[in-house]
């Protein structure tokens, strides 16, 4: 789901995309290998960090340190398990050496490859990573596959690849941290917004399952996610009953079909599902958010063919298979670490039924997860975006109260 769709202003110079490995299959030891690290910018003092957060629309109240921000490029795997590369943002508090508590933040939706944390500054995307670092945490923020400097096209809402990209960035950051006289605590405090809320749950599940020998789940705080994408989100965007903003329903309906087709072979050609087949080209990673918005029709009825609408309403084949994986993030497991779900009533992009259904699924597994209603808070006239701003301030305070390891 969405962050602010960015126009590309303030883009850092990424250089050429890192090459994809030619090996037929990666060995486990290759994943998370650090390929490069670049200092992007420095916020010298707590005052500078607070000013950066204020400029991005975030609460500066937890800023106690300056921040160093790095872009890390690392080895990971694509949606088929083949070797590839990805990038991400790594932020650390200045003046603090030794062992640092570790936060992983997964960002929301973007359409251009620069709509990623390591490619922007002083924007909505980077506020959480700066917030946590300025509060004293080491923070990783993955760009995901096909965004940042990574090759290929982005497999949006593909939780398995979001999980591997997130986990492998943690591994790369662990390798890099000693170069800055720091080490990373093994208990990872995992959070994420919108699209990244599902990614956060995927990472939390992987850490709890022992998919890394060093890192483990310390806490989990997803924000305004589409956890029940097939069962709640898609029906809400098709309903047209006023709960969700129509223009965002068009964006997500189109992105769903295009992105899931990249991984799961949903249709033979875009003309089967879109009245204008050129819609698919808007999600190639090279169109900006404003370009996409201006080119899309205004309603799902204008976007979709009868077959396309029926496919979203009654998923089958590759789309059904993809949605089963995406919708599994709250099912058939329960976090052993402290967990909270954050949401805002009146969210115009992610129906609040997603959060209710996630909490109910955890309840069925035997865990009562608190749901935090963030109230009526807007950012850029959006309740959805406002939920991330408010939640970031609340989550950093909550994370700061948790004891590292042992009893929490």
Position 23 in a domain? no
Structural domain count of the chain:
2
Last residue of a domain, one of 326, 345, 368: 326
Q: Do 180 and 302 have their domain in common? A: no
The answer to whether 371 and 359 are in contact (CB under 8 A) is yes
Return the residue matching tokens 């917004």: 193
Find how far residue 74's CA is from the centre of its chain: 18
Q: Do 95 and 190 have their domain in common? A: yes
SS3 102: strand
Q: Which CATH number belongs to the domain containing residue 118 in this structure?
A: 3.40.50.1820
Q: Which CATH number belongs to the domain containing residue 290 in this structure?
A: 1.10.260
Q: Do 294 and 194 have their domain in common? A: no
Q: Do 241 and 293 have their domain in common? A: yes
**Tokens for 361?**
């699924």
Q: What is the CA radius of gyration of the chain?
A: 20
Beta-strand pair 138-142/83-93 = antiparallel
Position 22 in a domain? no
Q: Do 126 and 203 have their domain in common? A: yes
Q: Do 303 and 382 have their domain in common? A: no
Q: Do 177 and 33 have their domain in common? A: yes
pLDDT of amino acid 69: 98
pLDDT of amino acid 406: 41
What global pTM score does this model have? Answer: 0.92
Position 4 in a domain? no
The answer to whether 173 and 74 are in contact (CB under 8 A) is no
Position 20 in a domain? no
Position 60 in a domain? yes
The parent domain of residue 283 ranges over 229-326
Last residue of a domain, one of 274, 308, 326: 326
Q: Do 131 and 195 have their domain in common? A: yes
Distance CA 161, CA 31 (A): 13
pLDDT of amino acid 22: 41
Q: Do 41 and 91 have their domain in common? A: yes
Q: Do 176 and 287 have their domain in common? A: no
pLDDT per residue rounded down to tens, the chain (408 residues): 544 443 333 333 333 333 333 444 445 569 999 999 999 999 999 999 999 999 999 999 999 999 999 999 999 999 999 999 999 999 999 999 999 999 999 999 999 999 999 999 999 999 999 999 999 999 999 999 999 999 999 999 999 999 999 999 999 999 999 999 999 999 999 999 999 999 999 999 999 999 999 999 999 999 999 999 999 999 999 998 999 999 999 999 999 999 999 999 999 999 999 999 999 999 999 999 999 999 999 999 999 999 999 999 999 999 999 999 999 999 999 999 999 999 999 999 999 999 999 999 999 999 999 999 999 899 999 999 999 999 999 999 999 999 876 433
Four-CA torsion 282, 283, 289, 290, nearest 10 degrees: 0
Count the neighbouring beta carbons within 10 Å of the beta carbon of residue 36. 16
Which helix or strand (DSSP H or E) is residue 262 part of? Answer: helix 246-264
Q: Do 216 and 307 have their domain in common? A: no
Distance CA 233, CA 218 (A): 29
Q: Do 254 and 300 have their domain in common? A: yes
Position 19 in a domain? no
Last residue of a domain, one of 298, 326, 354: 326
Position 152 in a domain? yes
Residue 86: closest CA among 22, 152, 29, 131: 152
Position 129 in a domain? yes
């Amino acid at each position: 789901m969405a962050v602010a769709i960015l126009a590309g202003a303030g883009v850092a110079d990424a250089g050429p995309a890192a090459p994809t490995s030619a090996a037929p299959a990666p060995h486990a030891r290759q994943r998370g290998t650090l390929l490069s690290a670049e200092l992007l910018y420095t916020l010298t003092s707590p005052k500078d960090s607070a000013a950066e957060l204020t400029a991005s629309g975030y609460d500066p109240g937890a800023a106690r340190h300056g921040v160093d921000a790095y872009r890390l490029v690392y080895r990971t795997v694509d949606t088929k398990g083949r070797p590839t590369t990805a990038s991400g943002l790594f932020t650390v508090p200045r003046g603090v050496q030794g062992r640092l508590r570790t936060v992983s933040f997964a960002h929301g939706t973007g359409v251009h490859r620069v709509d990623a944390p390591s490619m922007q500054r002083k924007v909505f995307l980077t506020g959480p990573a700066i917030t946590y670092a300025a509060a004293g945490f080491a923070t990783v923020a993955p760009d995901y596959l096909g965004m940042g400097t990574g090759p290929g096209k982005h497999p949006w809402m593909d939780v398995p690849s979001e999980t591997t990209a997130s986990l492998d960035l943690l591994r790369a950051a662990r390798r890099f941290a000693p170069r800055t006289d720091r080490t990373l605590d093994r208990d990872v405090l995992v959070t994420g917004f919108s699209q990244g809320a599902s990614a956060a749950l995927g990472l939390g599940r992987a850490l709890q399952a022992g998919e890394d020998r060093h890192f483990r789940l310390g806490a989990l705080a997803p924000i305004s996610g589409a956890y029940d994408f097939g069962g709640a989100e898609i029906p809400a965007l098709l309903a047209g009953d006023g709960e969700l903003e129509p223009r965002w329903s068009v964006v997500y309906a189109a992105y769903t079909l295009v992105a899931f087709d990249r991984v799961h072979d949903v249709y033979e050609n875009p003309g089967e599902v879109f009245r204008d087949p050129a819609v698919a080209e808007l999600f190639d990673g090279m169109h900006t958010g404003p370009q996409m918005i201006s080119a899309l029709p205004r309603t799902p009825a204008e976007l979709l063919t009868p077959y396309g609408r029926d496919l979203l309403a009654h998923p089958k084949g590759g789309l059904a298979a993809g949605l089963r994986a995406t919708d599994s993030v709250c099912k058939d497991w329960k976090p052993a670490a402290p967990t909270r779900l954050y949401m805002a009533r009146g969210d115009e992009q992610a129906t609040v039924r997603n959060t209710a259904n996630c909490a109910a699924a955890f309840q069925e597994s035997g865990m009562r997860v608190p749901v935090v209603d963030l109230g009526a808070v807007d950012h850029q006239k959006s309740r959805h975006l406002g939920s991330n701003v408010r939640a970031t301030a609340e989550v950093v305070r909550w994370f700061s109260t948790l004891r590292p390891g042992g009893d929490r």
